[in-house]
Chain A
């Protein structure tokens, strides 16, 4: 188990969208995926996940349909839309720029 890290503010949507580029998932699956892909550092709270899913669905970045889960229940499975892919690209670019800029400042202070 890696060190747990804090989910940076404003990045939840980004992570959800990225996860969904890898497949169609339900809410639990998304949380699992993020946890796994972050080398078990990030844990997404259900209390943040589901409201976020509703938000980005209303914005048209993801779409959902009802499917049966492995346990036999019905749940909504989410997939990313074309608009969502565009949003992902732009948000990822913004994120990278912020990270780079912040890193520059930190690096500079050290030397």
Chain B
């Protein structure tokens, strides 16, 4: 069809009524002219008219054939078919609803998982020529802080390496929120990442505003500069390009902003998922930074054409030849460089998990296909008569096939629409997940590529749904089908045996899923019941540590005292405390020291490395952590007085089992201390991790702290307390960031996030599987009933009761279910063992869970069998007696 014809047909379609009228007029004129000629030839007027009309022939057919030129008949036929299909499907509302819901959920889940895989594995990283970028780690540890290299080694590799266009890096040893931003607006804690000068140029990042660091700025003692991350710039400075060149105050020191990074580059999503990166500072490569040891995480860009192996070999050779230890002025740590593609470092460890997820979803999709195809087949067999009748009335086999395909197309379109909605919702949820260690999540979305996948999947689904019923429908366009009551023509491809096997398999699968979900749910409730060892009622916390640079320990202690006094003066405050390790908080609190006691030999105490905590006098009372014996710190325990220490129960049991620790001595951090109290054990890292040995020292101790939280317990709920506390603190120190006050309840809730997410995910899969299994059973039993109406009728005619018939059906359903459980139960017992790491307080073979699973399955099975059973009882025994 040419463009001209297309436009012509389109125009004609719009004017079709007028054209139709014209055509009618034309034909009338034609008849008239013809009649006139015939009359001239000798016929009477009436006879001429009749003859003329007869000659022109079947007007209706003529007009219909003419109408074919107006519009697009093929397309219109399709639209008609689709309309009819929609009407037809609406009549079978129940089946349609289920098919669309199941199909939609399946497509939605598949699309979401595809989007996830796309973002993590397929889409190129948002940097220039990512294939040439490599990650150079020092050794093979998984831990980022153990992969770092020393400045001297970096310089050697850059100087002597021929395989690289460049190597750069960043220092991962920064604390989130360590830097105080003051000046215009609310004081805020920000996170700064030190990067080497060539880091951004190496990645090919171009600033959105301003410029990148130059060499002068990356020198020791250079005036302080910083680059802003894009998200921080939008949030704090409202996208103002004028911020470039302006000075901001970080930790009391003026720092000039020289540039802003583009939105396309998300440092934290690539390198440090879960830790925000607000701004970037230059990290000089100098003897000073070299002295700090292994501080840099390295990224390199290979020269074009250089292979990974070549680069690896070269770096290994270079570092092997370097003298380790002190040479003259510098000293160098030995290094074992390990070179790998950057992509592998970023998302490599999730590949297998993603494959498992993709496999699970694909498997689920197969079940969805199987189920819906099953339903459609059942439906098609029920519509045998209708199809045969239509065939007898003139519908061709091809037409009937088109009809069935149209129906499955409509179903698919519905499922696809629902699927896209589900996928958009799910991907936006996933992309907003924070505090996870999964990278690149913000890139998870439904975009062109993902939509193409969805459409392809839908088409495959449509064909999958539609082929079998369509073939069947065409086969039924035979008059024999009208008369044939009993045997259906669905043998061959999709025999009853396969269908039954699928139903049994689905029941087994659901067994496994429900068992897993049930165990995880029970674990979750157990975790909720855990007593953390401290109170969370009306307790809030705020990070208050002062700037470390340029202040003495005494000054810092005085500062903290001032803050505590300001807050303690508030009327609704019941208690205040300070700690450098808030339980369930976001500061790391990993610090451990070795200890010695006079009672035990060194080899034994070396194993016990208690966690170190710096707290003040009010801490235990504020969090209501009971003291099993002895006392808490008092204001008398200041530097200069006798060194004291409080141990927790775990540590006491480890060091002095069965004895009273009060008054004994313990050497920690090089100082001998007297034990003055034993505190109850508390959960620190998470609720499901048992308490560990901890020791507490007064905050004034020179050992120092990296971050300190002020903990406040109030008489009133947190809302009012927070506002008043903020006001009081701002009066004491206007530069203190007070925005990030957390309540202990929030922290507890946050610590449960991952577990809750897993429960929901597995639970969702479980419910979905349950739906599938129920439908699968229903379809199989339903079909079997429809096949055996004759037999049932005979039985009832011979005296079987309705109840007896129903019981038979239910027994058949039960047999399938039992078969499924017989496979599923041992399977789930085997697979739940794999969940052991995630469980808490329940064993993988927990009888309560399994009993519940069986109960749920039993209920669902009964429901699935109920409807066909009821239909069976409604069979008219008279059918048995009708001749055919």
Q: Mark A34-72, 1 if CB is under 8 A from B, else 0.
A: 000000000001110011011101111000001001110
> A79 contacts the other chain (Cβ, under 8 Å)?
no
> B569 contacts the other chain (Cβ, under 8 Å)?
no
Contact of B30 among A27, A59, A66, A74 (CB under 8 A): A27
With the chains together, A53 CA to B30 CA distance in Å? Answer: 14
Question: Are B4 and A28 interface neighbours, CB within 8 A?
Answer: no
With the chains together, A27 CA to B32 CA distance in Å? Answer: 12
Question: Are A46 and B29 interface neighbours, CB within 8 A?
Answer: no
Residues of B within 8 A of A50 (CB): 23, 26-27, 62, 65-66
Question: Are A71 and B36 interface neighbours, CB within 8 A?
Answer: yes
Question: Are B29 and A55 interface neighbours, CB within 8 A?
Answer: no
Q: Mark A13-44, 1 if CB is under 8 A from B, else 0.
A: 00000000000001110000000000000000
> B435 contacts the other chain (Cβ, under 8 Å)?
no
> B38 contacts the other chain (Cβ, under 8 Å)?
no
CB distance from A2 to the nearest CB of B (A): 18
Residues of A within 8 A of B28 (CB): 73
> B25 contacts the other chain (Cβ, under 8 Å)?
yes
> B9 contacts the other chain (Cβ, under 8 Å)?
yes
Question: Are A58 and B9 interface neighbours, CB within 8 A?
Answer: yes
With the chains together, A76 CA to B36 CA distance in Å? Answer: 19
> A99 contacts the other chain (Cβ, under 8 Å)?
no
> A12 contacts the other chain (Cβ, under 8 Å)?
no
Kindly specify which of B51-59, B144-152, B351-359 makes contact with the partner chain: B51-59
Contact of B65 among A26, A51, A70, A83 (CB under 8 A): A51
> B69 contacts the other chain (Cβ, under 8 Å)?
yes
Question: Are B66 and A60 interface neighbours, CB within 8 A?
Answer: no
Contact of B8 among A28, A59, A76 (CB under 8 A): A59
Question: Are A47 and B68 interface neighbours, CB within 8 A?
Answer: no
> B5 contacts the other chain (Cβ, under 8 Å)?
yes
Contact of B12 among A26, A51, A58 (CB under 8 A): A58
Beyond A27-B26, A71-B32, A76-B22, whether A60 also contacts B68 by CB under 8 A is: no
Question: Are B8 and A57 interface neighbours, CB within 8 A?
Answer: yes
Residues of A within 8 A of B23 (CB): 50, 54
CB distance from A43 to the nearest CB of B (A): 10
Question: Are A55 and B69 interface neighbours, CB within 8 A?
Answer: yes
Contact of A46 among B22, B25, B30 (CB under 8 A): B30
Residues of A within 8 A of B30 (CB): 26-28, 46, 75
Residues of A within 8 A of B34 (CB): 28
Residues of B within 8 A of A55 (CB): 68-69
Question: Are B66 and A51 interface neighbours, CB within 8 A?
Answer: yes
Residues of B within 8 A of A73 (CB): 25, 28-29, 32
Question: Are A46 and B55 interface neighbours, CB within 8 A?
Answer: yes
Question: Are B33 and A70 interface neighbours, CB within 8 A?
Answer: yes
B37 (CB) vs chain A CBs: closest residue: A32
Contact of A71 among B29, B55, B57, B61 (CB under 8 A): B29
With the chains together, A58 CA to B23 CA distance in Å? Answer: 14
With the chains together, A53 CA to B26 CA distance in Å? Answer: 12
Question: Are B33 and A74 interface neighbours, CB within 8 A?
Answer: no
CB distance from B460 to the nearest CB of A (A): 37
CB distance from B647 to the nearest CB of A (A): 96
Question: Are A69 and B29 interface neighbours, CB within 8 A?
Answer: yes
> B331 contacts the other chain (Cβ, under 8 Å)?
no
With the chains together, A81 CA to B32 CA distance in Å? Answer: 28
Within residues 7 to 35 of chain B, which ones have a CB less than 8 A from any CB in chain A? 8-9, 12, 19, 22-23, 25-30, 32-34
Residues of A within 8 A of B593 (CB): none
With the chains together, A60 CA to B65 CA distance in Å? Answer: 18
Residues of A within 8 A of B350 (CB): none
CB distance from B853 to the nearest CB of A (A): 66
Question: Are A47 and B33 interface neighbours, CB within 8 A?
Answer: no
Contact of A26 among B2, B26, B57, B70 (CB under 8 A): B26
Q: Mark A74-108, 1 if CB is under 8 A from B, else 0.
A: 11100000010000000000000000000000000
A75 (CB) vs chain B CBs: closest residue: B29
Contact of B5 among A59, A66, A71 (CB under 8 A): A59
Residues of A within 8 A of B2 (CB): 59
Question: Are B32 and A54 interface neighbours, CB within 8 A?
Answer: no
B65 (CB) vs chain A CBs: closest residue: A51
CB distance from B826 to the nearest CB of A (A): 69
With the chains together, A47 CA to B64 CA distance in Å? Answer: 10
Q: Mark B260-271, 1 if CB is under 8 A from A, else 0.
A: 000000000000
CB distance from B851 to the nearest CB of A (A): 73
CB distance from B48 to the nearest CB of A (A): 13
Beyond A50-B27, A50-B66, A51-B66, whether A58 also contacts B5 by CB under 8 A is: yes
With the chains together, A77 CA to B28 CA distance in Å? Answer: 14
Residues of B within 8 A of A53 (CB): 66
Residues of B within 8 A of A58 (CB): 5, 8-9, 12, 69-70
Contact of A47 among B9, B36, B62, B70 (CB under 8 A): B62
CB distance from B23 to the nearest CB of A (A): 7
Beyond A50-B62, A51-B66, A73-B32, whether A45 also contacts B57 by CB under 8 A is: yes
CB distance from B408 to the nearest CB of A (A): 33
Beyond A28-B33, A69-B29, whether A47 also contacts B61 by CB under 8 A is: yes
Question: Are A51 and B26 interface neighbours, CB within 8 A?
Answer: no
Contact of B62 among A46, A71, A76, A83 (CB under 8 A): A46
Residues of B within 8 A of A69 (CB): 29, 32-33
Contact of A60 among B5, B58, B61 (CB under 8 A): B5
Question: Are B26 and A60 interface neighbours, CB within 8 A?
Answer: no
A77 (CB) vs chain B CBs: closest residue: B26
CB distance from B40 to the nearest CB of A (A): 12
Beyond A46-B56, A46-B57, whether A28 also contacts B66 by CB under 8 A is: no
With the chains together, A85 CA to B823 CA distance in Å? Answer: 77
CB distance from A68 to the nearest CB of B (A): 10
Within residues 36 to 92 of chain B, which ones have a CB less than 8 A from any CB in chain A? 36, 55-58, 61-62, 65-70
CB distance from B30 to the nearest CB of A (A): 5
Residues of B within 8 A of A70 (CB): 33
Residues of B within 8 A of A27 (CB): 26-27, 29-30
Residues of A within 8 A of B67 (CB): 54
Residues of A within 8 A of B5 (CB): 58-60
Residues of B within 8 A of A83 (CB): 4
Residues of B within 8 A of A75 (CB): 25-26, 29-30
Within residues 643 to 682 of chain B, which ones have a CB less than 8 A from any CB in chain A? none
Question: Are B29 and A74 interface neighbours, CB within 8 A?
Answer: yes
A60 (CB) vs chain B CBs: closest residue: B4
Question: Are B58 and A71 interface neighbours, CB within 8 A?
Answer: no
Question: Are B69 and A54 interface neighbours, CB within 8 A?
Answer: yes
With the chains together, A95 CA to B349 CA distance in Å? Answer: 71
CB distance from B65 to the nearest CB of A (A): 4
CB distance from A26 to the nearest CB of B (A): 7
CB distance from B284 to the nearest CB of A (A): 76
Residues of A within 8 A of B56 (CB): 46
| Given pairs A46-B56, A50-B66, A59-B4, 18 additional interface contacts (CB within 8 A) | A28-B30, A46-B55, A50-B62, A51-B62, A51-B65, A54-B12, A54-B67, A55-B68, A57-B8, A58-B12, A59-B2, A59-B5, A60-B5, A71-B33, A73-B28, A73-B29, A75-B29, A76-B26
A-B contact pairs, 15 of them (CB 8 A): A26-B26, A47-B65, A50-B26, A50-B27, A54-B12, A55-B69, A58-B5, A58-B70, A60-B5, A69-B33, A73-B29, A75-B25, A75-B30, A76-B22, A76-B25
A residues contacting B by CB (< 8 A) are 26-28, 45-47, 50-51, 53-55, 57-60, 66, 69-71, 73-76, 83
Going nearest first, the 6 A-B pairs with the smallest beta carbon separation are A75-B29, A54-B69, A51-B65, A58-B8, A28-B33, A73-B29
B residues contacting A by CB (< 8 A) are 2, 4-5, 8-9, 12, 19, 22-23, 25-30, 32-34, 36, 55-58, 61-62, 65-70
